[in-house]
Amino acid sequence: HLLDTIDRSTCLGVRDYAIYALMYLCGLRIGEVFGLDLTGIDLKTKEITVTGKGKRIRTLHLSDELFQILSEYLAVRTFFYQNEHRNALFISKKGNRLAIRTMEDNFKKIILKSGLQTRFNVSCHTLRHSFASHLNDKEVDMLVIKSLMGHSTTRSTEIYIHPSMQKV
């Protein structure tokens, strides 16, 4: 529901949808999305290379859904100012690498627009928690979740797991 409230009829909306879909569907940190470059995406093999904490590099497979979302964004990215001079995957309307603060502010606007009511603060990082929790609900092995999230131990991953009421 949250992602569906993003207006994808504009270039900025397509960009923002791609950003938050990446965070949710790959469990990426906002800093990892910020650091993504065009050279880190291989559309032929459907893989994306991510630099995580401690400069650890991991390669993630793009689902068909995420491949489509990124392909749509890359098609409209050509309309952004100075796009041909930037290696950053996500750029602002002024042609600079999109700032973390801008991603956070835009996400807050999306949450307000969605009317989402929660008992906790929702942020970009909540998408990472949702990623881990939803994989856990689908009975994905903890070691797989750990690897996808770029953690060095399962103890780090366990912090992100919040079983659904249905699972409980």
**Active-site residues: which are they?**
29, 53, 125, 128, 151, 160
- The single-letter code of the amino acid at 13 is G
Beta bridge partners of 88: 37
Rounded CA-CA distance 21/32 in Å is 13
Rounded CA-CA distance 27/12 in Å is 22
Reduce the secondary structure of 79-125 to three states and give it as a string.
CCCCHHHCCECCECCCCCECCHHHHHHHHHHHHHHHCCCCCCCCCHH
Rounded CA-CA distance 122/12 in Å is 21
CA neighbor of 154 nearest in space, from 137, 132, 138, 139: 132
Place of tokens 């996400």: 107
Rounded CA-CA distance 135/58 in Å is 18
